[in-house]
Amino acid sequence: MNNRGLLALLLSTFFVTSGCLEGLDNQQDDNGFWGDDCEKVSDEICVAGPASDFELVDQFGNPVNMSQFEGKVVLITFLYTHCPDVCPAVTYQMNKLSEELGDDYNESVVFLSVTVDPERDTPERLASWTSDRNVSWQFLTSTADSPVGHMLSVWQDYEIAVNIDEDACGGNGHYMEDYEGCHCNPGYIQDPWNIDDCIVDSDYDKNATFEDGSLEGDILSALELWSSGN
């Protein structure tokens, strides 16, 4: 796949293996994005390079893989439907962003949400959850005999992990009820030049602002850069 054929924007909700990105200074770097270049950050947090492919199914049972979106901008979130706070807020923001994008949405920009709880997030559960929230994009899960085992490689490719350590998020997330893990919301944006920028938003606001310096504003800036680079 051509590295310029797919721009993946990855943002919350992520599961990380240590301390919720402790040590990041949340400063805007020289390329205009809020965060640090991945070259300056541990690979345990942020992986440089083009987005990895996968084979999953959406809420309607349709097969989905990243390679089918070549030539488009792809915005990916990792979340789960039993999440009581951040995940619904992220989904709300994505809905607002889809409105802001106008004709670009679905034409040149694709949204995907990938579950981190495939045993409970069946296609039927995802279909009901997305319908209740008027979600228009695909929510992805696995229907394999061992869905967690199937999705482990996907999570690993995107540096997503589920921890059994309740303190692993350093107080910036919360312990998932009935699930062995913790939950926080760092992520990264991959720009058109294949440079990854780590981001963390500990004060996530469910009201999308699209202002300069906001997470939404950074996404729109990435889309503008993508357009100018093609």
Q: β-strands 63-65, 55-57: how paired?
A: antiparallel
Q: Decide if 1 is inside a domain.
A: no
Do the beta carbons of residue 203 and residue 34 sit within 8 Å? no
Residue 196, pLDDT > 60, answer: no
Q: What is the mean pLDDT of residues 5-16?
A: 41
CATH of the domain at 140: 3.40.30.10
Higher pLDDT, 211 or 141: 141
Q: What does the block give as tokens for 78?
A: 């990792």
Q: Is the pTM of this model over 0.85?
A: no
pLDDT of residue 72: 73
Q: Decide if 200 is inside a domain.
A: yes
Domain that holds residue 130: 6-229
Q: Which of 208, 186, 205 is nearest to 197 (CA)?
A: 186
pLDDT of residue 216: 60
Residue 160, pLDDT > 50, answer: yes
Do the beta carbons of residue 1 and residue 216 sit within 8 Å? no
Q: Which of 179, 197, 138 is nearest to 15 (CA)?
A: 179
Q: What is the mean pLDDT of residues 168-172?
A: 45
Q: Decide if 86 is inside a domain.
A: yes
Residue 74, pLDDT > 50, answer: yes
Q: Decide if 62 is inside a domain.
A: yes
Number of domains in the chain: 1
Residues 183, 131: Cα–Cα separation, whole Å: 24
